[in-house]
C-alpha cells in the first residue's frame, strides 16, 4: 500500500462548524431602548405641561397685543382718551390695529367699552368719562356696543376742564387724514345716540385699477387705502359687491402687507364692484377675473390692484 496523498490545492479546507448558541439562553439586557423612548416621550409631555401650567411668564418686552384681556381693555380706552384730545383718527387706528384684534378694530374698542361698562369701572366718575370718550369715538365711526345704554345721561357741558386745559390750545392740531364725521359736533349733542347719526364724508377717490398675473395670488383684489401722501391708512371699511351680495372688510388687518392693505378673493365669472361705504364713489370699472399667463408662461387667474386715495 502506498502513502496517503494530501488533498489537491484547489480543495478548500472546510472550517469547523460553529457552536450552536441555542444551547444556553442569552442573559436578559438590563436596558430596553423601546421602554426608554416611550418613557422619555411621556416625561417630555409631562414636563412641558407642568412648566406651561406653573411656569412664570418670561421677563420680556411685552407688546400691547400680548396683554391679558383686562389690561388690553384699559389700553384700548387709553387710545380713545388720546383720540378725544388729538382728534387724530389715523394715529388712533394705527394703535388699535397694533393690538391685533380678530376683526374690526373699532368694534374691538366698542367691545372693550362694553366689558368695562358691565364692571365696577363704571362706578367711578373717571370711568364714566373715559367710557363716554370711547363711545364718542366708535359711534362716530358707525360702530356700537352695549356700553352706550349703560352709561348715565351726559350732562352738558361735559368738559369744563378742556377750556382751561394747558395742552389743548396747540397751534396746529393734527387734522384727521380720513373721514372726519362728527367728533366736534358730537360734543354739542345732548346724548350719545345723536352722534351715530352723523354722515361720513366722501373723502377718498379710487385710482384706476391695475392687473397682475401671479400663480401665488390667483384672482385676488389687493386694495390699498392711502392718504394723499401715499401712506397707508388702517381701519378703513372697504366694500365689495357682486350680484345681490356684498362683503365689507377693513384695511390694515394684514400689517405685514402694509398698514393700509386689504385683499379679497374673487371667484371666476363673477363681476365685482368695489368702494368705501360712505367714503368714496365706487371704482368705475367692474372687476372680473379670467385666465392669464405669467412671465414664465404659467397659467393663472388675473388679479387686481385697487387704490383709494384720500382727497386731502
Residue 154 makes CB contacts below 8 A (sequence gap 6+) with: 132, 190, 191, 192
User: In the 8-state DSSP scheme, what is residue 19?
Assistant: P
Q: How far is the CB of 273 from other proteins (least distance, A)?
A: 39
Q: How far is the CB of 88 from other proteins (least distance, A)?
A: 9
Q: How far is the CB of 6 from other proteins (least distance, A)?
A: 57
Q: Point out which span in 27-35, 192-200, 217-225, 227-235 binds other proteins (CB under 8 A).
A: 27-35
Residue 186 makes CB contacts below 8 A (sequence gap 6+) with: 136, 139, 140, 192, 194, 195, 198
The cell numbers describing 311, all together, are 382727497
Question: Of these, 133, 147, 192, 292, which contacts other proteins (CB under 8 A)?
Answer: 133
SS3 209: coil
Q: How far is the CB of 111 from other proteins (least distance, A)?
A: 17
Kindly state whether residue 102 participates in binding other proteins, applying the rule CB under 8 A: no
Kindly state whether residue 74 participates in binding other proteins, applying the rule CB under 8 A: yes
Q: How many CB atoms lie within 10 A of CB 97?
A: 20
The Cβ-side half-sphere exposure at 192, using a 13 Å CA radius, reads 27
The cell numbers describing 111, all together, are 367691545
Kindly state whether residue 10 participates in binding other proteins, applying the rule CB under 8 A: no
Kindly state whether residue 123 participates in binding other proteins, applying the rule CB under 8 A: no
Question: Of these, 122, 130, 225, 238, which contacts other proteins (CB under 8 A)?
Answer: 130
User: In the 8-state DSSP scheme, what is residue 123?
Assistant: G
Q: How far is the CB of 36 from other proteins (least distance, A)?
A: 4
**Rounded to whole angstroms, how far apart are CA atoms 107 and 309?**
24
Kindly state whether residue 278 participates in binding other proteins, applying the rule CB under 8 A: no
Choice between 67 and 213, CB closer to other proteins: 67
Kindly state whether residue 156 participates in binding other proteins, applying the rule CB under 8 A: no
**Rounded to whole angstroms, how far apart are CA atoms 86 and 239?**
28
Contact (Cβ atoms closer than 8 angstroms) between residue 261 and residue 307: no
Whole-Å CA distances, 207 to 53, 178, 236, 289: 53, 16, 16, 19
Choice between 133 and 276, CB closer to other proteins: 133
Q: How far is the CB of 136 from other proteins (least distance, A)?
A: 11
Kindly state whether residue 21 participates in binding other proteins, applying the rule CB under 8 A: no
Kindly state whether residue 120 participates in binding other proteins, applying the rule CB under 8 A: no
Kindly state whether residue 168 participates in binding other proteins, applying the rule CB under 8 A: yes
Identify which of 194, 188, 210, 236 has the alpha carbon closest to the alpha carbon of residue 89. 236
The Cβ-side half-sphere exposure at 251, using a 13 Å CA radius, reads 29
Question: Of these, 118, 119, 124, 197, which contacts other proteins (CB under 8 A)?
Answer: 124
Q: Point out which span in 166-174, 253-261, 271-279, 283-291 binds other proteins (CB under 8 A).
A: 166-174
Kindly state whether residue 125 participates in binding other proteins, applying the rule CB under 8 A: yes
Strand 299-310 relative to strand 220-226, pairing:
parallel
Kindly state whether residue 47 participates in binding other proteins, applying the rule CB under 8 A: yes
What phi and psi, each to the nearest 5 degrees, are found at residue 242?
-150, 135
Question: Of these, 41, 185, 188, 190, which contacts other proteins (CB under 8 A)?
Answer: 41
**Rounded to whole angstroms, how far apart are CA atoms 109 and 133?**
11
The cell numbers describing 243, all together, are 350680484
Question: Of these, 15, 17, 25, 160, which contacts other proteins (CB under 8 A)?
Answer: 160
Kindly state whether residue 185 participates in binding other proteins, applying the rule CB under 8 A: no
Residues that bind other proteins (CB under 8 A): 30-52, 55-64, 66-68, 71, 74-75, 77-79, 81-82, 84-86, 95, 124-127, 129-130, 133, 159-162, 164-170, 174
Amino acid at each position: 500500500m502506498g502513502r496517503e496523498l494530501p488533498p489537491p490545492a484547489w480543495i478548500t479546507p472546510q472550517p469547523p462548524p460553529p457552536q450552536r448558541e441555542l444551547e444556553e439562553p442569552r442573559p436578559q439586557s438590563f436596558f430596553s431602548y423601546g421602554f426608554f423612548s416611550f418613557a422619555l416621550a411621556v416625561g417630555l409631555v409631562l414636563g412641558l405641561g407642568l412648566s406651561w401650567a406653573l411656569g412664570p411668564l418670561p421677563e420680556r418686552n411685552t407688546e400691547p397685543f400680548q396683554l391679558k384681556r383686562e389690561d388690553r381693555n384699559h389700553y384700548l380706552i387709553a387710545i380713545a382718551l388720546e383720540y378725544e384730545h388729538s382728534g387724530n383718527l389715523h394715529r388712533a387706528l394705527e394703535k388699535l390695529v397694533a393690538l391685533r384684534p380678530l376683526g374690526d378694530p373699532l368694534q374691538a374698542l366698542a367691545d372693550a367699552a362694553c366689558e368695562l361698562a358691565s364692571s365696577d369701572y363704571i362706578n367711578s366718575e373717571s370711568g364714566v368719562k373715559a367710557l363716554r370718550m370711547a363711545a364718542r369715538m366708535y359711534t362716530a365711526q358707525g360702530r356700537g356696543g352695549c356700553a352706550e345704554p349703560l352709561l348715565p345721561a351726559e350732562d352738558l357741558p361735559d368738559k369744563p376742564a378742556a377750556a382751561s386745559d394747558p395742552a389743548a390750545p396747540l397751534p396746529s392740531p393734527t387734522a384727521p387724514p380720513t373721514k372726519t364725521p362728527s367728533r366736534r359736533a358730537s360734543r354739542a349733542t345732548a346724548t350719545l345716540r345723536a352722534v351715530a347719526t352723523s354722515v361720513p364724508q366722501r373723502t377718498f377717490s379710487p385710482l384706476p385699477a391695475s392687473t397682475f398675473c401671479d400663480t401665488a395670488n390667483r384672482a385676488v383684489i389687493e386694495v390699498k387705502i392711502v392718504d394723499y401722501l401715499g401712506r397707508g391708512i388702517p381701519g378703513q371699511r372697504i366694500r365689495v359687491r357682486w350680484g345681490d351680495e356684498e362683503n365689507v372688510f377693513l384695511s390694515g388687518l394684514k400689517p405685514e402687507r402694509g398698514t393700509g392693505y386689504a385683499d379679497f378673493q374673487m371667484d371666476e365669472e363673477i363681476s365685482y364692484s368695489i368702494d368705501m361705504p360712505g367714503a368714496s364713489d365706487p371704482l368705475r370699472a367692474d372687476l372680473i377675473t379670467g385666465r392669464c399667463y405669467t412671465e414664465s408662461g404659467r397659467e393663472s387667474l388675473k388679479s387686481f390692484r385697487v387704490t383709494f386715495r384720500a382727497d386731502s
